[in-house]
Structure 1
Amino acid sequence: MMQTGSCSFGLWKVIVSWEGNVVYQVQFVRTAPEGPVPVQFTKFLAGRVDSFDPLVSAAVSGDNAYSRVYAAVSKIPYGETRTYREVALVADTHPRVVGNAMARNPTSLIVPCHRVTASDGTLGGFTPDLQIKRDLLKMEGKKKRG
């Protein structure tokens, strides 16, 4: 049975929808319904763990360009970043496809799109607010310009 709950990250709420160990949606919003989330989320967002194991994203299943991008991004280690181009090479696609996939990422954090940056050293984007990306990278100990 699908469950939905929320936890906090600074001034933001993080809504999580999951079933078993499969996460279907993660969203950053200003207000959210109350309810429990998998403990990995609260620990990660508090900086106490660097992994969501054994949780996985539903978005990595299949063999299309987006699922390959999500799988590649899922393998970026905590505290590290990769460029859109580097992810594109791993996923056998174009950097613009990576950017589009990141903009549509249904399971941010599980698929850590905050770890994907532009080749020129800027952060790129993050929905709904670029400051979330800065805060996540800072939490992970990564100092980036942008």
Structure 2
Amino acid sequence: MVVNEGSCPLGLWHVHVVWSGDVVMQVCFLRTPAAERAPRAFIRYCAGETDALREFRTPATDGDTVYARIYRVVQAIPAGQTRSYGEVAAMVGTSPRVVGNAMRSNPTPLVVPCHRVVAKGGIGGFSPSVDLKRALLALEGVRV
């Protein structure tokens, strides 16, 4: 199995991706670019083609752990829509706090679009920056 690593720009950030074929193992946001380019679908997503990442899968959704179930629910949230931590929790049968912890631990943001999960009364948190979450939601046409 050949593992690749690359990035693409997204505003002041760079989306770093580690992948093999159609499997994405890690996504993170850094201020510096990687030496290689991210997969074309990530470049298209960052350019506003918000459904471009549907071709990828992630091991984070495998199995029957509570986090895997949460990640599958979040992965099914369409671009341009959001769900609250409480709504996701109700779908999985857990608490909003557990959903928040799963979002914080998400190894593959964008593939599992944790930025689409918001607080009941506001935007909620996002690592590394709430401003980045706002930018991702704006890219998808969501006003927060």
8 Å Cα contact 1:84-1:95 kept in structure 2: yes
Residue 14 of structure 2 corresponds to residue 16 of structure 1: no
For 1:124 and 1:98, the matched residues in 2 are separated by 12
Q: Is residue 2:48 matched to residue 1:38? A: no
Unaligned runs of 5+ in 2: none
Give SS of 1:25's match: strand
Question: Once superposed, which parts of structure 1, at least 4 consecutive aligned residues long, lie more than 6 Å away?
Answer: none
How many pairs does the alignment contain?
143
User: Partners in 2 of 1:51 and 1:13 — Cα distance?
Assistant: 17
- Distance in 1, matches of 2:73 and 2:52, equals 15
TM-fit CA distance, 1:49: 4.0
CA distance in 1 between partners of 2:49 and 2:31 (Å): 23
Q: When the two structures are superposed, what TM-score results if normalisation uses the length of structure 1?
A: 0.94
CA RMSD of superposed structures (Å): 1.0
1:91 deviation in Å?
1.7
Amino acid across the alignment from 2:127: T
Unpaired runs of 5+ residues, structure 1, are: none
Structure 2 partner of 1:139: 139
Matches within 5 A, 1:1-146: 1-120=2-121, 122-144=122-144
Residues 84-107 of structure 1: per-residue CA shift (max 9 Å, x gap): 011111122111100000001100
